[in-house]
Amino acid sequence: MLLLATPSLLQLTYCSAACIAGYWLYWQSTTGRRHRQFVKKHGCRPARKVKNRDPVLGLDAVFAMWRWSDQHILFEKTSQKFFGSGAKTVEFAFLTANVILTCEGENIKSVLSQNFRAFGIANTPSELELLLRGGIFLNEGEAWHQSRELIRPSFARSQVADLDMLEKHVNTLIDGIPRDGSTVDLSTLFSQLTLSTAIEFLFGENSDEEDSAADKVSNHAFTEVWDRVSRYLANAGEGEHGKLWIYNYLLDRIRMNPQYRRDCSTIHHYVDKLVEKSLSSKQLESLSTSTTKPRYVFVHELVSQTTDKVRIRNESLSVLFAARDTTAGLLTNVWFELSKRPDIWTRLRNEIDTLNGNKPNYEELKNLKYLRAVLNESQRLYPIIPAGGRKAKEDVALPVGGGEDGRSPVFVRKGQFVLFGIHAMHRRKDLYGEDADIFRPERWLDTEEKRGLRMGWEYLPFSGGPRVCPGQNFALTEASYVTIRLIQSFPGRLESRDPEPWRELITFIVSNLGGCKVGLFPRESEANPDKGERARLKGGFELAIKMPSPILGAGCNGS
């Protein structure tokens, strides 16, 4: 009896085939029909497909990307692979997803701005969730809107970054630089600076007298924990993971690294403490009674809107996360390039010489056009966030990229990812010219014959639309101020101590793998009199020689 009741293999095959066909018919008459109607209505045509050897999962592409990432050429190679044919919007299989990748400003604008509501942020790894849940960075929809409203006033003032506050931290940085031209890796110093300025911007001054020895230890520990968490989140193959990268990766998927869990709660507790301290009546009191211009503090601004301390902690942690490594990465890239290009460094120093060695005020800082062009050019060639993306929450059309000529709209179905190739877009020859791969700040400047570049959605170092980086002004002011004061302190010469070219170091941002190893000289004649003489004869260096250097005494303990 039992045998008779068991269906034969043939029966099974028929049954499954019928099921699949039935489901297919059902899908075609519902979702499929909806898709076809949408495509017809909007005149959509498919984007160019990038063929993978594995057409289903695109495993060959996945492994190639892993390899490129290890070799620090991921963005260079993916730009070639996907846009090499000349198409600016392409579609390809990536594991279970069918991804659309675009380097077309019009499409990015449509996703980030015009169709803002139709898209949500792409999948967030659970590790990042654990650290940043409940803050602006990961919030979506109404929760995001509330976060953004909450922090908006804190960024609204024209002068977000307080120059006096920056001066103090820059002096610490300068104290850490040898004055005899011996090699220093500025990237480490930049990271310390951007962490301490972000903390002071968020929580106010952490005055030394108040700090017990125990606090000092925990400040130091915090930096360490924060660095470890950054490295962990980045899954950077360097050292830590070594050849076991994939093994560790899979293991961490199954069971989140316990050290990482502990680190996250250390960070939460530490930031709780900072919030507590910052909101203590003492600090707020001194704020209201102080006769000098009150220092601007992020969380003081938040308390006027909410008294929920966990909320305040979550939001300020997200801003801390967004502010630190990004700005340090920008400074590292800029100074790395300056060390390789004495011509650019000299022109920049000549511009900064117009300040006569004085601290710039905010207007003076904004008027240094060449400095701004150098920052623009650095962010063009080496965008700190070279790719972005969103996930469609409903069926939607991108304005361009479909059909043979790429001018028809492209259909994006609900759940599909749209990725932005910022790196590729910033190097497009049709936008930036044949020399797009070369670092040339002059392209941003107006001359008598030619207007400098004015980019819209084709230049997106800080993203765009409602979720545009609110810290843009803060970051540019900080990077400018640090660069000005550093050049004023070391107007002699800047030497590269790294034979390698710029290479990608991928964490959750991208900056230079080799950091920024340089030698800095307070005076041209120092340490290398021969070279100095020759340079002076060629002209252009006189200003620096004459230039008084007031901060040498003020900032560096008279050394």
Given the rule CB under 6 A, which residues bind ligand NAG? 133-134, 310-311, 314, 369, 372-373, 376, 444, 455, 459
Q: Which of ligand NAG, ligand HEM, none does residue 137 bind to, with CB < 5 to 8 Å depending on kind?
A: ligand HEM
83 C-beta neighbours (distance < 10 Å), count: 22
Query: Which does residue 373 bind out of ligand NAG, ligand HEM, none, counting CB within 5 to 8 angstroms by kind?
Result: ligand NAG
User: Is residue 516 part of the contact set for ligand HEM (CB under 6 A)?
Assistant: no
- The span of 99-107, 354-362, 471-479, 526-534 binding ligand HEM (CB under 6 A) equals 471-479
Closer by beta carbon to ligand HEM, 187 or else 327: 327
DSSP H/E element including 542: helix 542-546
Q: Report in angstroms how near the CB of residue 22 gets to ligand HEM at its nearest.
A: 41
* Burial profile 494-526: b = 16 or more Cβ within 10 angstroms, e = fewer: bbbebeeebebbbbbbbbbbbbbbbbbbbbbbe
Cα–Cα distance list, 212 to 206, 219, 274, 416 (Å): 11, 11, 14, 52
Please compute Rg for the chain using Cα positions: 27
Question: Helices marked H in 290-341 — which ranges?
Answer: 298-303, 309-340
Q: Which does 134 bind (CB under 5 to 8 A by kind): ligand HEM, ligand NAG, none?
A: ligand NAG
Minimum CB distance to ligand HEM, residue 156 (Å)? 13
Based on the shown chain and the rule CB under 6 A, indicate whether residue 148 belongs to the binding site for ligand HEM.
yes
Place of tokens 């640090």: 482
Q: Which does 310 bind (CB under 5 to 8 A by kind): ligand HEM, ligand NAG, none?
A: ligand NAG
Backbone φ and ψ of 354, nearest 5°: -65, -15
Q: Does 464 bind ligand HEM (CB under 6 A)?
A: no
Under rule CB under 6 A, residue 388 binds ligand HEM: yes
| Nearer of residues 61 and 112 to ligand HEM, judged by Cβ | 112
Diameter of the chain by CA atoms?
A: 107
DSSP 39-56: HHHHT--PBEEPPPSSTT
Q: State yes or no: residue 181 binds ligand HEM (CB under 6 A).
A: no
CB of 319 to ligand HEM, least distance (A): 5
> Could you tell which of ligand HEM, ligand NAG, none binds residue 222, using a CB distance below 5 to 8 A set by kind?
none
Contact between 137 and ligand HEM per CB under 6 A: yes
Six-digit token pair at 40? 């017809």
Environment class of 291 (CB within 10 Å of its CB; exposed 0-12, middle 13-18, buried 19+): exposed
Q: Which helix (H) or strand (E) covers residue 120, if one does?
A: strand 119-121
With respect to ligand NAG, which residue has the nearer C-beta, 173 or 317?
Answer: 317
Q: Out of 463, 507, 526, 547, name the contact with ligand HEM by CB under 6 A.
A: 463
List phi, psi (to 5°) of 288. Answer: -80, -25
Residue 455 interaction partner, one of ligand HEM, ligand NAG, none, beta carbon < 5-8 Å per kind: ligand NAG
Closest CA to 103 of 327, 429, 483: 429
Q: Which residue is nearest to ligand HEM (CB)?
A: 471
505 binds ligand HEM (CB under 6 A): no
Question: From residue 308 to residue 327, what is the string marking binding to ligand HEM with x (rule CB under 6 A)?
Answer: ----------xx--xx--xx
* Residue reference for tokens 């979702």: 31
